[in-house]
Chain A
Amino acid sequence: MPSKRSLIDVHEKSKSYDWDYQDTDPKYPSRFIIPKTGKDPFRMLVRDYVRMEEEKDSRTYGALDGALRMGVAEKVEPRFMEALKLTLPDLTNAEFQAVSGVGMIARGIGNQELRQGYYAQMLDEVRHTQLEMGLRRYYVEHAPDPSGWDIGQRALYQHPGGHVSLALFQNFNTGDVIDSVINLNVVVETAYTNILLVATPEVAVANGDHALATTFLSIQSDEARHMANGYGTLFAVLQDESNVPLVNEALERHFWHSHRGLDALVGWQAEYGAVNRPGAYKDLWQEWVADDFIGSYVDKLTEFGVKAPTRLAKVASDVSWIHHSTAMAFAAIWPLNFWRSDVMGPADMEWFDSHYPGWAEVYGAFWHGHAAMADPSSGRLMLQELPSLPPFCQVCQLPCIMPRPDRSEIRVFEHGGRNIAVCSEGCDWIFHRWPKAYEGRKSFWHKYNGWDLADVILDLGFVRPDGFTLMGQPSVSLERLWTIDDIRRIGFEVKDPLAS
């Protein structure tokens, strides 16, 4: 039953129950002046929060039961579910990093109204990991080919694609608390979760996955409050003019990094994980990020000194290409994947070239080659065709073939006695502005320099229960699967492109 008490009155009274932490020293010092004022647009109370989330869980788990009865998992396009084996653990990593991030934020912001919103958010992030694990358990038990689902989280942290996720989401809980808010609540949750959690469900349903759609939409209903937490906090810090340049710098940094990591992976899932594509990813980006986030959110704050990121036009351009380059890279390294990388057939190629004019010229030959080498009898890997392996960007961890392999913007320099590569001017700026945050990461290629590819796969543990059939395959066909013996016969040696 709806409450008869006034929300506004109760919320006002609740703010009088103020308190602080015994140890007020933050984990990381803040450069920002954080006023004690701040407003929560949702006027969230614990009482109401619990009622709301209980209802959401009932609906979502009820829908999963329904999906079980209707055999949804068996009807999902295999290509869609295979790509999910990477992107769903990727999302769970984001939730996990956010749990500790929001705890840090709640402690660092001495305002009871905002804190209540962040406490609810931390519980949300835990809820999201539980929902996602529930969905993954459903896939493990009912997907026609569950291989890879069972080790998803461990595999994520070992795989180059997972390093993209780590590099992006560890910023949620590492560094200045307001920087974390601008990263997590403002850029990732306000701009980018809409593409991930609202637009992707449309793709999911078009490819038969109603279970994922219901789960993601329920998760996003919490994200909407997180956006409000970020908005309330942003407004609080904008009250002090000395914060404005810091806000703009943080926005610049995290908008670029989020574009790199999320446009690459979400765009890949939406188009290369789909057989049926409701629309082009670049159009989703234009609607949710350029129009809704920049036009109706950031541009509205210009009177307070907030500026749209200076690299916005560059992002708008690269968003047409980087997920295609990511797809090519994932397909090229398919033996190292814990999912099957499907071939792109004539219908796919026609769709890509009509929605991204020029696509066939850049990527067409690669996908023809990938299809020709899909059967183990070919005895060939695309990795053998490359002049060298592409370095991974020290900041965003994408392969340095961005935005397109024919127009790579790679920069290589010496730092701390070793060679470092970055994929772009934007990542170059981030690295040199915050070197301590990025210089320590070790490269995947560095770790396996000189190894036979078969031994790398065994070290990663990406083989099926029989001990020799690979989890990763170059197509979703299950007729003739590649084995570790097929790879060893090829004799491909990993060579770190940045080795001195």
Chain B
Amino acid sequence: MTDLVQEKVPSRREGPRDTIGITLMVSADTEAAVAMIREEQPDARVSFRGVTYKIERDGVLEFDMGRLGERLGRPIDTNFFLVNMSTYYGRMDVGDGVVRIHSDILPERFK
């Protein structure tokens, strides 16, 4: 390695992170999802990126389609919710009416 090398990968010094995240492009669905997360999971961190929202949390993020649909005033399923998702990191699990992202190697079926 040359003298250009700088130790600037802090996450690696701390070991694996428990943080997971999702990025949603700006839309009416997303605005409702962001409001829902702020209310239901207030420890989640939401940052606006010009055309997207990045939502991050330690442990798990959960989006319930039933409750999201109530906020929107119309039904929405996991497929239409995922139309708004640009990216995520963590362990994704799409189930009946719910999208979850886990920090741990969950659900059990992945072990």
Interface string of B1-31 (1 = CB under 8 A from A): 1101111111110111101110101010000
> Is A193 among interface residues, defined by CB-CB distance under 8 A?
yes
> Is A308 among interface residues, defined by CB-CB distance under 8 A?
yes
Q: When the two chains form their complex, are residues B77 and A3 in contact, meaning their CB atoms are under 8 A apart?
A: yes
> Is A244 among interface residues, defined by CB-CB distance under 8 A?
no
> Is A206 among interface residues, defined by CB-CB distance under 8 A?
yes
- For residue A287, give the distance in angstroms from its CB to the closest CB of chain B: 9
Q: When the two chains form their complex, are residues A297 and B96 in contact, meaning their CB atoms are under 8 A apart?
A: no
| Stretch from A130-138, A213-221, A344-352, A385-393 that touches the partner | A213-221
Give Cα A59 to B92, complex, Å.
Answer: 24
Q: Which of B5, B80, B93 contacts A313 (CB 8 A)?
A: B5
Contacts A295-B11, A316-B6 given; does A202 touch B49 at CB 8 Å: yes
Q: When the two chains form their complex, are residues A296 and B103 in contact, meaning their CB atoms are under 8 A apart?
A: yes
Contacts A8-B95, A59-B83 given; does A39 touch B110 at CB 8 Å: yes
Residues of the B chain whose Cβ atoms lie less than 8 Å from the Cβ of A51: 79
- For residue B6, give the distance in angstroms from its CB to the closest CB of chain A: 5
Q: Which of A6, A291, A318, A407 contacts B11 (CB 8 A)?
A: A291
Contacts A41-B92, A201-B50, A316-B8 given; does A300 touch B105 at CB 8 Å: yes
Interface set, chain B 90-107, CB cutoff 8 A to A: 90-97, 103, 105
Interface string of A278-294 (1 = CB under 8 A from B): 10000000100011111
Name the residue of chain B whose CB is nearest to the CB of A45: B79
Q: When the two chains form their complex, are residues A213 and B11 in contact, meaning their CB atoms are under 8 A apart?
A: no
Name the residue of chain A whose CB is nearest to the CB of B5: A317
Give Cα A257 to B76, complex, Å.
Answer: 41
> Is B35 among interface residues, defined by CB-CB distance under 8 A?
no
Give Cα A198 to B50, complex, Å.
Answer: 10
Q: When the two chains form their complex, are residues B79 and A201 in contact, meaning their CB atoms are under 8 A apart?
A: no
- For residue B28, give the distance in angstroms from its CB to the closest CB of chain A: 11
Q: When the two chains form their complex, are residues A296 and B89 in contact, meaning their CB atoms are under 8 A apart?
A: yes
Q: When the two chains form their complex, are residues B95 and A198 in contact, meaning their CB atoms are under 8 A apart?
A: no
Q: When the two chains form their complex, are residues A312 and B9 in contact, meaning their CB atoms are under 8 A apart?
A: yes
Q: When the two chains form their complex, are residues A213 and B92 in contact, meaning their CB atoms are under 8 A apart?
A: no
Q: Which of A8, A213, A296 contacts B90 (CB 8 A)?
A: A296
Contacts A41-B92, A224-B86, A296-B19 given; does A217 touch B51 at CB 8 Å: yes
Residues of the B chain whose Cβ atoms lie less than 8 Å from the Cβ of A84: none
- For residue A267, give the distance in angstroms from its CB to the closest CB of chain B: 16
Residues of the B chain whose Cβ atoms lie less than 8 Å from the Cβ of A409: 2
Give Cα A335 to B9, complex, Å.
Answer: 39
Interface string of A165-205 (1 = CB under 8 A from B): 00000000000000000000000001001100111011001
Q: When the two chains form their complex, are residues B94 and A42 in contact, meaning their CB atoms are under 8 A apart?
A: yes
Residues of the B chain whose Cβ atoms lie less than 8 Å from the Cβ of A296: 11, 16-17, 19-21, 89-90, 103
Q: When the two chains form their complex, are residues B87 and A317 in contact, meaning their CB atoms are under 8 A apart?
A: no
Give Cα A312 to B91, complex, Å.
Answer: 23
Q: When the two chains form their complex, are residues B94 and A217 in contact, meaning their CB atoms are under 8 A apart?
A: no
Q: Which of A41, A308, A313 has the most CB of B within 10 A?
A: A41
Name the residue of chain B whose CB is nearest to the CB of A204: B51
Name the residue of chain B whose CB is nearest to the CB of A52: B79
Q: When the two chains form their complex, are residues B92 and A290 in contact, meaning their CB atoms are under 8 A apart?
A: no
Residues of the B chain whose Cβ atoms lie less than 8 Å from the Cβ of A43: 94-95
Contacts A202-B52, A217-B86 given; does A313 touch B7 at CB 8 Å: yes
- For residue A334, give the distance in angstroms from its CB to the closest CB of chain B: 28
> Is A56 among interface residues, defined by CB-CB distance under 8 A?
yes
Give Cα A217 to B26, complex, Å.
Answer: 10
Residues of the B chain whose Cβ atoms lie less than 8 Å from the Cβ of A353: none
- For residue B48, give the distance in angstroms from its CB to the closest CB of chain A: 10
- For residue B68, give the distance in angstroms from its CB to the closest CB of chain A: 11
> Is A7 among interface residues, defined by CB-CB distance under 8 A?
yes
Q: When the two chains form their complex, are residues B50 and A205 in contact, meaning their CB atoms are under 8 A apart?
A: yes
Residues of the A chain whose Cβ atoms lie less than 8 Å from the Cβ of B80: 2, 52, 55
Give Cα A290 to B1, complex, Å.
Answer: 18
- For residue B38, give the distance in angstroms from its CB to the closest CB of chain A: 21
Q: Which of A59, A220, A290, A321 contacts B4 (CB 8 A)?
A: A321
- For residue B78, give the distance in angstroms from its CB to the closest CB of chain A: 7
- For residue B51, give the distance in angstroms from its CB to the closest CB of chain A: 5
Interface string of A41-83 (1 = CB under 8 A from B): 1110000100110011001000000000000000000000000
Give Cα A257 to B6, complex, Å.
Answer: 20
Give Cα A390 to B27, complex, Å.
Answer: 47
Not counting A213-B51, A286-B8, a sample of 7 additional A-B residue pairs whose C-beta atoms are within 8 angstroms of each other reads A292-B21, A299-B16, A313-B6, A314-B5, A316-B5, A316-B8, A317-B8
List 11 A-B pairs, Cβ < 8 Å.
Answer: A2-B76, A2-B97, A39-B110, A190-B89, A202-B51, A217-B86, A224-B86, A224-B88, A295-B11, A295-B19, A299-B16
7 nearest interchain CB pairs?
A295-B11, A2-B77, A299-B16, A41-B92, A295-B17, A202-B50, A217-B25
